[in-house]
Structures are given as structure tokens and as C-alpha cells.
A = this chain, B = another copy of it.
């Protein structure tokens, strides 16, 4: 019964995350298509509009999914390597979309003779892209190259997990400053300060992005929803640590330390796994 509650709780939050993330992408599209000039690649406003669309789709929504992908209980029977490829693949797609979104805004600025890189938004955004690229490269070298020593993986993992969440938060901050900028620059008649429908709509988009980040942050920091340690991993290593060092993930015990809770948590995870088998059967 408790396991079922835990499983339903996870599903409820996952559906919320997907719904809020999807809504944020939809709101961005409605913003640029309905309230603004639509999409195009002409060096003008239509090209600029790819900037928010691709950022929210890739850098916020897809990055958010990449962060929680290890938490899906029905993937726990898939190999860790497959899950790493999915995690890295989603992040690569997000990075490509972020880079295209940068090209769009630089192209727009250059066509319109607007200076680049002067605003706080642009500084935070560029920092986020540079760190995200480094994170992806370092992640690939550390966790996907088969020759990387397990000790190095174990050393890098907490840093990888920390910087992943930090970059995600920084991207959200960059998006919110970008939305602020754009609304002030474009809402002139009627002015932003009179809170026209576009203002309310895009402010709501900002709040949706914040809520999406909050739900992802909650999901990824619950210990009971963490992918279990590989069953054979401990047997392979004399010291009981995992050979890949990849189970040192963020949730760890974000909110639980005592051994007694650790055990309770492991049991809860086992229950979730069993329940997942039921879930899989029922959907097959």
C-alpha cells in the first residue's frame, strides 16, 4: 500500500513535470506566433523568435528530462550504459538547440546593428552554455569512455551531479532575465506596466518555467526514487563500492541520513522496483 502510494506519487510528479514543461514550450510558441511575428530565418524578429522557442524547448525542457531520466523506475532494468546514452543524448540535443538559439539571436543582432553581449542576460546565458558544453564533454570523457579509471569516475560524480543541477538553475535564471528584457523592449503600446494580455501571458510562462525547475529539483533529490545500485556491482569490487562510481548520484540522501532510514529507503526502492514490474506487466 505504501509502495503503491510512493509509485503513484512519483508518477503524479512525473506527469506534472511533463505537463508543466510541455505547457512552458506551448506558451513560448503561442507567445512568438500569436503575440509576436512568428518564426522565420530572415535576420529579423522572426529569426530572433527561435531564441526563446529553442531555449525553452532544449535548454529548459529537454535538459530537465535528461536530469530525471535515471529516476524512471521502468528503466531500472535497462543497462546503466543504455541510460547513460539516453542521458547524454538528451543533453546533446539540448546543447544543439541552445547553440542554434544563440546563432538566431546573434544573427538578429548583427542584422539590426544591435550590440551583442552587453546585458546581464547575455552574460549569464553565455556562462551557462560554456559550462554546459564543458559538463557534456567532461561527462563523456569520464562516464562513457570505457578506459576511464573507476576511481576517477567516483571522484568526478559528485561534481558532475552538483554542476548539472547548478547549470540547470543558471539556465532558468538566464531565461527569466531574457523574458524580462524582451517584455520591456517590445511591450511599448500598450506598455508592459499596464499589464496587457501579452504581459500576463509571458509572466505566466516565466512562472511555469520556475515551477518546472522546482518539480525536477524535487524528483531528482528524493532518495527513494533513485536508480538502485547495480545488483552485481558490489560483488565485483572488494570494497563494496560500485565499479563505475556512477551510483554516487544527487539524491543520495537529500533529506535522509540515518542508517535506519537508509535501510527503509532501500526497502522502499525494492518495493518500487517490484511494483514497477507489476506496472510494466499491466502496460504490456
Contact = CB atoms under 8 A, between A and B. Distances in A.
A241 interface: yes
A206 B124 contact: yes
A22 interface: no
A86 interface: no
A262 B114 CA distance: 54
Interface stretch (A10-18, A57-65, A135-143, A252-260): A252-260
Interface residues of A, number: 66
Q: What is the copy number of this chain in the assembly?
A: 2
Interface string A141-157: 00000000000000001
A115 interface: yes
Question: Most B CB atoms within 10 A — which of A179, A195, A252?
Answer: A252
Given A207-B123, A207-B127, A248 B240 contact: no
Interface stretch (A1-9, A42-50, A92-100, A170-178): A170-178
A161 interface: yes
Contact of A118 (B177, B194, B249): B194
B252 A257 contact: yes
A250 B258 contact: no
A182 B222 CA distance: 38
* Main SS class of interface, A: helix
A239 B249 CA distance: 27
Interface stretch (A24-32, A70-78, A213-221): A213-221
A166 B217 contact: yes
A218 B162 contact: yes
B252 A256 contact: yes
B119 A203 contact: yes
Contacts of A165: 217
A119 B161 contact: no
A229 interface: yes
Given A173-B172, A217-B166, A240-B259, A192 B252 contact: no
A241 B260 contact: yes
Contact of A158 (B173, B206, B255): B255
A189 interface: no
B255 A253 contact: no
A207 B124 contact: yes
Question: Most B CB atoms within 10 A — which of A120, A158, A229?
Answer: A120
B259 A203 contact: no
Give me the 7 closest cross-chain CB pairs, A-B, nearest first: A158-B255, A252-B253, A240-B260, A118-B195, A253-B253, A120-B206, A177-B180
